[in-house]
Structure 1
Amino acid sequence: MGSGAAGGGDGGAPRGRTTFATAGGSARLVLGRRRAGWPGPTPPEQVLALADAMPKRYRVLVLLGAAAGLRQGEAFGLALDRIDSELGMITVNQQVVVIDRRPVLASPKTSASVRDVPMPVFLSDAIDEHAQALQLDADAVLCRTPRGGLLRRDYYNKRIWKPAIKAVGLPEDTTFHDLRHTFASTALAGGVPISEVSRWLGHKSITTTVDLYGHLVPEAGGRARDALDKAFGLALGVPSKCPDEEG
């Protein structure tokens, strides 16, 4: 097995177009205007198009942000031995930081950032494909430069990220952090409790999560009313009027 330094270069690396092909067939996608204070989640089709616009060795980073909610430094520092394919979980306990102008692996800044995150099957498959293509060792960091170095945020953002978002027509102020919004909004739309989403995002306080995403779960009030009507209706002898019991 190689050390992870194999693979194509940044500018001239082959860029596969089959793994994340979208149904629309258009390479240029446009994100709708974003509300003030809320960048808006990047739709799955655009996430996949963005991944395809990356040099192949960096595509999985986009999926780690959008499908697992990792921060940029956490995605840069993720190693294969932190991934449990059988349980479908990713352990986040290291990140890449710059010290004395050199990127190094370090622990997250807060205890809340050390966490286990659920890994969807398509992300697990993408990681396996990535590891096999680069012949990574079992404990190798997933994404390194062609020379085997750890990624620097300034290098990645300028040389990899900016050209890719331009290629797919995303706003020029789109950041890697916006991918976390896709993860959070998708999980919440699927009915995942916001407390779980908060933990998976590594937020120190659930207040942060509620401030960012509370507006995405307005149906919670309706569910609470239905539950209370049902519970107290039994005690009051009043027939339940919950929508899910009508018919």
Structure 2
Amino acid sequence: MPRHTTMPQRLQKTPHGDVTLTSRWYREHYFLVAYGPINALRWMFPKDERFEVIGEKARHTFEPAPKAITVERELRQICAKWQACWDDRFQDHQSGAVSEPSTTSAPIIQTLGQLFDHLFGIRKPKVAIITADRDRYRLALWRTELGNDRILTSIRPDDIADALARIGKRTSPSTANTSLGVLKTYLTWAANMGLVKDQSHRTVSRLREPANLRHQRAWWTAEEVELALRCAAEDPHQPTATLLVACGCFLGLRVEEIIMLRWQDLSLDAMDPKTREPRPVCHIVPHDGWQPKDRESRDIPISTPLLAILRQHRQSEGYLLKNEPHRKGRPRGGKGWIYRYNPKKVWARICNRVVKAGGKTITMYGMRHSFASNMLIAGVSDVKVGRWLGHADTRMVHKHYGHLLSYDNDINAVKVNAP
């Protein structure tokens, strides 16, 4: 039985042609999808330009109400209210009672800097803080190499390739390639909006990265996690060092989620109401203006080893990770960290101890990969792992960890004697 139903297609008349309205179920609630001539969508959504251009038409997916809609009947009611407003505007337009604003009225975007400023302002509220900060840095590289005042229509693939090579020399091939992906996103939007005549920028190839510098998704095995915990316990900054490794490797949290995790987000004494067995849970929830990357709350069960560590350092409230004693707050006048605290120096000391003990170094984000990899190796369902990681489905799990799921013993179910 499906978890949701689909709203019957509706038709909305506009001065620029008919637009169809359908529903889409995504991340456990409904969205409305408008599809029709691009000028019609601009008339319906004069303050929004996030349209997906498809040939001569466009599509716009939007949340119909501030509160998430999970019942199709409510979606139909809200869609009817939207259409009532559009119908009133359409009747006024037909009768000439009001003069409609031009559908082509939009901020003037002619240069690369104007494109970056405009689209970055649209994207910033919809991405994680750290993503916006990294994009700002990557765009600054292109502002320098291509020119902030460079006319969009004058940018050629060769110009981008030359600038990419210079960025690769200034930084690294990996950074340059990531920056190229950001630039292509912005130029594709410009092409969809008619600001440039084609999408020739897509033909620019990434820089070749030396084999020893290519990004590798390094992670710790279960034995290496035990080693890392012992090394973390030797760090002078306790319990932050131990909790950093424990939460990363046993909960699979993103780095910013570990930094923003509070003791009041942990239900360490939760019990099954029937069996009275311990059922401790970690709740990842928005608080104090911070939101998880996917902007959604989720619950992750706490394993027995992690529960023992948490109970050892348990507090009634406050953040799990504390600033080091000699660091009273954010450096550089309170603007030095993206989040409330950056444990990179603690992490560097832990990794140095791990390497000296015969282990390998990984990034802080690698603890998340360690969690997922070890769970999948142990036979935990990819659906559960994806849910605990905060993914909407299992696609990301299969994309990054498919090599751990690729072999299935069921392939040997049919017994045939080979010659």
| Range class of TM-score, shorter chain | 0.5 to 0.7
Query: How many Å apart are 1:40 and its aligned residue?
Result: 3.5
Question: What's the secondary structure of 1:74's corresponding residue?
Answer: helix
Structure 2: any 5+ residue segments left out of the alignment? 1-211, 271-278, 331-336
Deviations 1:103-127 (A, max 9, x none): x761113145x21111111211211
Q: 2:226 aligns with which of 45, 51, 74?
A: 45
Higher relative contact order (CA 8 A, sep 6+): 1
User: Is the CA contact (8 Å cut-off) linking 1:79 and 1:139 kept in structure 2?
Assistant: yes
Cα distance 1:217–1:153, how it changes in 2: closer, same or farther (>3 A)? farther
Contact 1:78 1:94 in 2 (8 A): no
Equivalents in 2 of 1:36, 1:225: separation in Å? Answer: 35
Residue 142 of structure 1 is matched in structure 2 by: 320
Alpha-carbon shift at residue 129 of structure 1 (Å): 1.1
Q: Which amino acid aligns with 1:46?
A: L
C-alpha deviation, 1:183, in angstroms? 1.0
**How do 1:168-247 residues align onto structure 2 when only pairs under 5 Å count?**
168-169=354-355, 171=360, 174-219=362-407, 221-223=408-410, 226=413
Are the equivalent residues in 1 in contact too, given 2:244–2:258 (CA < 8 A)? yes
Map residues 1-247 of structure 1 onto 2, 5 A cutoff: 37-42=216-221, 43-54=224-235, 55-58=237-240, 59-85=242-268, 86=270, 87-94=279-286, 106-111=290-295, 114-131=297-314, 136=315, 138-145=316-323, 146=325, 152=339, 155-157=342-344, 159-169=345-355, 171=360, 174-219=362-407, 221-223=408-410, 226=413
Change (3 A) 1:47 1:200: same
Query: C-alpha displacement at 1:148, in angstroms?
Result: 7.6
Please give the alpha-carbon distance, in whole angstroms, between the structure 1 residues aligned to 2:267 and 2:411. 36
The residue identity in structure 2 corresponding to 1:71 is R
Q: Following TM superposition, by how much is the alpha carbon of 1:200 offset from its aligned partner in structure 2, in angstroms?
A: 0.5
Q: SS of the counterpart of 1:125?
A: helix
Assess if the C-alpha contact under 8 Å between 2:260 and 2:340 holds in 1: no
**Counterpart AA for 1:122:** P
Structure 1 residue 81: Cα displacement: 1.8
CA contact (8 A) 2:267 2:282 kept: yes
Between the aligned partners of 2:321 and 2:289, the Cα distance in structure 1 is 13
Task: Please give the per-residue CA displacement for 1:145-175, whole angstroms capped at 9, x wherever unaligned.
Answer: 1478698587421x21112211221555x21
- The offset of 1:73, in angstroms, is 1.1
Specify the code of the residue in structure 1 equivalent to 2:346.
I
Q: Is the 8 A contact 1:53 1:168 kept in 2?
A: no
Identity %: 26
User: Structure 2: how far apart are the matches of 1:44 and 1:214?
Assistant: 21
Residue pair 1:67, 1:183 contacting (<8 A) in 2 also: yes
Question: Distance in 2 between the 1:52 and 1:63 partners?
Answer: 11
TM-score normalised by structure 1 residue count: 0.62
In 2 relative to 1, CA 154–88 (structure 1 residues): closer, same or farther, beyond 3 Å? closer
Q: Which has the larger radius of gyration?
A: 2
- Pick closer, same or farther for the CA change 1:94–1:124 going to 2, 3 Å: farther
Conservation of the 8 A alpha-carbon contact between 2:267 and 2:281: yes
SS in 2 for 1:106: coil
Note the C-alpha offset of 1:36: 6.5
Stretch of structure 1 that moved more, 200-209 or 62-71: 200-209
Inter-partner Cα distance in structure 2 for 1:111 and 1:224: 40
Work out the CA distance in 2 between the residues paired with 1:53 and 1:182: 21
